[in-house]
Amino acid sequence: MKNEYFKNSVGQVATRTYVIPEPESITFDCGKTLPHIQVAYETYGELNADRTNAILIVHALSGDAHAAGYHSPNDRKPGWWDNMIGPNKCFDTNRYCIVCSNILGGCKGTTGSNSLDPQTKKPYGMNFPVVSIRDMVKVQKKLIDFLGIQKILAVSGGSMGGMQVLQWAVDYPDRVAGVIPIATTATLSPLSIALNEVGRKAIMSDPNWNGGDYYDRTPPDAGLAIARMLGHITYLSDESMMEKFGRRLRDKEDYSYDFETEFEVESYLHYQGEAFTRRFDANTYLYVTKAMDYFDLSRETGALEKTFENVQAKFLIIAFSSDWLFPPYQSKEIARALRTCNKEVSYCELSSSYGHDAFLLEEKQQTLMITHFLQNLEEECEKE
């Protein structure tokens, strides 16, 4: 039964860790450094002899290094992109070596605000340096160096993962042949900043947050759950919520005329919010949303086309029709800027009612686009 379960999967996998040696440590955009940074990562498939078949997968806000497979035979759920990564899947582990690491500032094995500060022997809490998308990518680059990969075949990820993808293409132009940013943006919109700030306010207004110092006491679960509920709403669409929940009541036919959980959509959000508090750290939520807020690829150069001037990677940009968090026009803007400086770019708007979550759910449409793109990359890399 378990074998059946694993059949279309990379099977049982384990998270490994790499610690960046202190002399090689990175300097954060904010100017700070940390003594040694641990990186949690997983790999699926084998590196070929030339080490030219590596694909780096980068995750979104609440993701982790566990992108595919199962950690134990009893795991109920596989990694977060298991429908896209595995034998004969989009990111085909018979063909490619897939690498995925938890982001800097994350709470899933890579150093972050819930990690122990070696100086105080207590969690960093709000003493952790503010992290940027570029900082996350600097750490990924250290991991790729450690793995002995000179040139990554492709970097891909959705949402905040897509931001890291773009940053890779800009910061390490000669280290990546192709990039696949999905459901993302080159510049976080004020709408997204605003939504992030509501989530942060919910956490920081929770008395249990206690200035971020809650690791030996009750954490700010109520605030974190509210932030997650709001997040979930932005990952869906008006249409998908109508399909999924409609106005159905939970376990009854008539209005109860009270303030208990009543509509199915409320019940879903309460569950998602509560479940999130069991697997995610509230301070991390603050840091990661702040990294997104700061993301603006045109900020330093004044124009996106200037930022992209030295890019060498080929681009496949994917957006989804019903995504209102990172609407297609934001992906089109990336494509426009790349074309302006004569870069190779394919832009594809996929039709989906799933909203922003489509990047996790629409594996068929994405697989069609991505497998062709990867094959072309391989052929061109062989020619070189």
128 in contact with a second copy (CB under 8 A): no
Candidate residues 82, 206, 357, 362; the one interacting with a second copy per rule CB under 8 A: 206
335 in contact with a second copy (CB under 8 A): no
Give the single-character DSSP code of 125. Answer: G
130 in contact with a second copy (CB under 8 A): yes
191 in contact with a second copy (CB under 8 A): yes
Candidate residues 7, 22, 207, 380; the one interacting with a second copy per rule CB under 8 A: 207
288 in contact with a second copy (CB under 8 A): no
Give the single-character DSSP code of 74. Answer: T
75 in contact with a second copy (CB under 8 A): no
Q: What is the dihedral of CA 347, 61, 235, 359, to 10 degrees?
A: 40
Q: What minimum distance in Å lies between the beta carbon of 227 and a second copy?
A: 9
In a 10 Å sphere around its CB, with 0-12 CB exposed, 13-18 middle and 19+ buried, how is residue 21 labelled? Answer: exposed
Strands (E) across 135-267 are located at: 152-158, 176-182
Residues composing the chain: 384
From the candidates 82, 206, 281, 323, give the one annotated as an active-site residue. Answer: 323
Report the largest interatomic distance among the alpha carbons of the chain, rounded to a whole angstrom. 70
Instruction: Examine the residue annotation and report whether 156 is marked as an active-site residue of this protein.
Output: no
Report how many residues bind a second copy under the rule CB under 8 A. Answer: 56
Give the single-character DSSP code of 187. Answer: B
Candidate residues 19, 198, 275, 368; the one interacting with a second copy per rule CB under 8 A: 198
From the candidates 159, 237, 240, 353, give the one annotated as an active-site residue. Answer: 159
Amino acid at 151: K
Backbone angles phi, psi at 301, to 5 degrees: -95, -20
275 in contact with a second copy (CB under 8 A): no
Extract the tokens encoding 157. 């990820």
Extract the tokens encoding 199. 């989530």
CA distances from 323 to 83, 87, 192, 319, 378 (A): 20, 29, 12, 8, 31
260 in contact with a second copy (CB under 8 A): no
Give the single-character DSSP code of 33. Answer: B
Per-residue interface string for the shown chain with a second copy, residues 294-313, x marking contact by CB under 8 A: x-x--x--------------
362 in contact with a second copy (CB under 8 A): no
Instruction: Examine the residue annotation and report whether 323 is marked as an active-site residue of this protein.
Output: yes
Q: How far apart are CA 63 and CA 154, in angstroms?
A: 19
Extract the tokens encoding 146. 């450690």
105 in contact with a second copy (CB under 8 A): no
45 in contact with a second copy (CB under 8 A): no
- Which residues contact a second copy (rule: CB under 8 A)? 29-31, 126, 129-130, 187-191, 193-195, 197-198, 200-202, 204-207, 222-223, 225-226, 229-230, 233, 236, 238, 241-242, 244-247, 255, 257-259, 262-263, 265-266, 269, 273, 286, 290, 293-294, 296, 299, 324, 327
Active-site annotation, residues = 159, 323, 356
